[in-house]
Amino acid sequence: MRRIHSSELRWCAARRLLSRLRSRLVEVVRDIVGPLVGALRPETPAGARSFPIAFVPAEFPAHERNSQMNDSRAKYRFSIGPWNISEGRDPYGPDTRPTKDFAWKVERFKAGGFDAVMFHDDDVVPELDSKSSKAVLREARAVRKAVEDAGMAVEMVAPRLWFSPMTVDGGFTSNDPAARRYALDRSLQTIDIADALGTQLIVLWLAREGTYVRESKSYRRSLELLVEAVDSLLAYHPKVRIAIEPKPNEPVDVAYLPTIGHVLAFANMTSDPQRIGGVVESAHCVLAGLEPADEIEFALTPRKLWSVHLNDQNGLKFDQDKPFGSVNLRSAFDQVRVLEREGYGRDGEFVAFDVHSFRTTTIEKAFDHAVNSRRTFLRLLDKVRSFDESAAQALIEQRDYQALDQMVIEHILG
Ligand code: GLO
Ligand code: MG
C-alpha cells in the first residue's frame, strides 16, 4: 500500500480549505451583488445565477409583449389547440361528441380568455398530403386571418408525424428511408405553414420516435437520424426555433427523448443549439415518474422553456390530459410558483393547456375543461403571490420542514 506522507495530507487539507473559502467567497459576493443586480433587473430572482447568454435564443421574443404587462393577472397569456376540443373517442369506443369546425372553436377560445392558438399542421390544413403547396399556403393564410380577426395570435405549429400510414414505424427514425423522407418533407412544409401563420415556433412531439421492440433499432443510429432531421429543419429557415416536447412512452413503448434533460442534451448535438428549446407537459413528467415543477424549473433555468403544456395525470397509466390541478393540486401550485418565480412569459411565451374533456362530457360543455384549467391557474397564481415567502424562509432556516409542509397545505386550503 502506498504510504501517504504528512506533507501530502497537509496539501489535501489546504486544498479542501481553499475550496471551502472559494465557495464561501462566491456565496458572499452573490449575496451582495445578487440583490443589487436583482434591483436593476427586477425579473431576475435575487441572487439567482444567470446562465451564459449563449443559451438565450437570439430571435426571442418573436411575439409582441403584452401591453398590459403591469396588470398582474394579464401578465400571463394563454394558448390552446383545436385538438383540445375532441370528439371523445378512446381505444374502446367511438366518438361521443360531434366534430366542430375551427370557426366554432375559435369563438370559444376567445370567449374563454385565451390569447393564442397552437396548431398541428393538419389542424390548419386538413388532409394536407393530398393538396398542392399553393393550396396549403392559401388555406393557411385564411386560418391566420380567422385567428387575427378573433384578436388572437398563433403560438406554434407542430407536424403531426404519427398518423400517416407512412410513419407506422416512426418518422425521422423509421427503418424505411421513404418514411424518413416523408417525415422530413412534411416537417419542412410545417415550417412554410408556420411562416404563413406568422410564427417561428415549431413544436416537435416525437410521438413514434422510439421502440416497440428494442432490437429493431439502434439508439445511436436513431439519435444520428434525429440530429440530421433537426439540422435540416434549422437550415431550411434561419429564424425558425424548435421546441421539442418530451414524453417517455405512448404510443411507443420507450421513447428516444423521454425527458427535458434528454431534450437539452440532444440540443447540443445539433448544428444550432441556441434554436432548440423545450416544451414541458405536466402529464408527461408524471408518466416519467418525475415532478412536473422540477422539470419546468430545469428548463427555465437556462431559459429553454419555450412553451408549457399544463394538465394533470393520475399516476402511471395511459396519458390522461386531465384538467390542470385536477389530480395533484399541490404540484399544480408548485408548477405555477416556479413559472412565476422565474418570470415565465417575459420573452413572450404562452401558458398552454394540453387538456382533454372527459369522454362523458356533452358538446355544450366540451370546452369547460380548458376554461377551468385557466381558472385554476389564475386562482393558484393568487395563492402563489400571497404565500408568505419570508415565513417559509424562516422555517427553512430552522430546518423545520414539517411546519413548512403544513404551511403549504394550509395555504392551499385557504
Ligand atoms: C401527446 C402530446 C401532444 C402534443 C401535440 C403538440 O401526448 O401532448 O398532444 O402536445 O401533438 O405537438
Ligand atoms: Mg402536449
Mutate to test the pocket of ligand 1, among 281, 312, 321 (most ligand atoms within 8 A of CB): 281
38 within domain boundaries:
no
412 within domain boundaries:
no
- Into how many domains does the chain fold? 1
Give the burial class of 303: count Cβ atoms within 10 A of its Cβ; 0-12 exposed, 13-18 middle, 19 or more buried.
Answer: buried
Number of alpha carbons in the 13 Å side-chain half-sphere of residue 216: 14
> What per-residue confidence (pLDDT) applies to 12?
42
194 within domain boundaries:
yes
Which cell numbers in the block locate residue 264?
A: 437539452
309 alpha carbon – ligand 2 mean position (Å): 5
> What per-residue confidence (pLDDT) applies to 34?
45
Number of alpha carbons in the 13 Å side-chain half-sphere of residue 291: 13
Ligand 1 pocket (Cβ < 6 Å) reads 120, 158, 203, 205, 245, 247, 281, 309, 319, 354
With 80 as the cut, is the pLDDT of residue 35 above it?
no
With 90 as the cut, is the pLDDT of residue 200 above it?
yes
With 60 as the cut, is the pLDDT of residue 50 above it?
no
With 70 as the cut, is the pLDDT of residue 112 above it?
yes
Ligand closest in space to the Cα of 202? 1
pLDDT (tens digit, 9 = 90+) per residue, 250-306?
999 999 999 999 999 999 999 999 999 999 999 999 999 999 999 999 999 999 999
For residues 389-412, give the mean pLDDT. Answer: 98
pLDDT band of 14, cuts 50, 70, 90: low
> What per-residue confidence (pLDDT) applies to 75?
85
> What per-residue confidence (pLDDT) applies to 48?
52
> What per-residue confidence (pLDDT) applies to 26?
44
With 90 as the cut, is the pLDDT of residue 68 above it?
no
> What per-residue confidence (pLDDT) applies to 64?
38
110 alpha carbon – ligand 2 mean position (Å): 21
370 alpha carbon – ligand 2 mean position (Å): 14
> What per-residue confidence (pLDDT) applies to 6?
54
pLDDT, the chain, mean: 88
pLDDT (tens digit, 9 = 90+) per residue, 149-185?
999 999 999 999 999 999 999 999 999 999 999 999 9
Domain limits at 93? 18-26+51-57+70-385
Residues known to be catalytic: 120, 123
pLDDT band of 37, cuts 50, 70, 90: very low
37 within domain boundaries:
no
With 70 as the cut, is the pLDDT of residue 77 above it?
yes
With 60 as the cut, is the pLDDT of residue 54 above it?
no
CA of 319, closest atom in ligand 1: 7
> What per-residue confidence (pLDDT) applies to 49?
55
* Cell 480549505 belongs to residue: 17
Closest residue by Cα to atom 5, ligand 1, is 205
380 alpha carbon – ligand 2 mean position (Å): 21
396 within domain boundaries:
no
pLDDT band of 405, cuts 50, 70, 90: very high
For residues 103-112, give the mean pLDDT. Answer: 98
CA of 250, closest atom in ligand 1: 7
33 within domain boundaries:
no
Helices 329-341 and 368-385, axial angle in degrees (round to 10) = 60
40 within domain boundaries:
no
With 60 as the cut, is the pLDDT of residue 95 above it?
yes
Ligand closest in space to the Cα of 243? 1
Number of neighbours of residue 72 by Cβ within 10 angstroms: 12
With 90 as the cut, is the pLDDT of residue 60 above it?
no
For residues 129-138, give the mean pLDDT. Answer: 97
For residues 204-224, give the mean pLDDT. Answer: 98
Q: CATH number, domain at 321? A: 3.20.20.150
CB 280 within 8 A of CB 244: no
CB 291 within 8 A of CB 338: no
145 within domain boundaries:
yes
Task: Give backbone dihedrals phi and psi of 409, rounded to 5 degrees, phi first.
Answer: -60, -50
> What per-residue confidence (pLDDT) applies to 264?
98
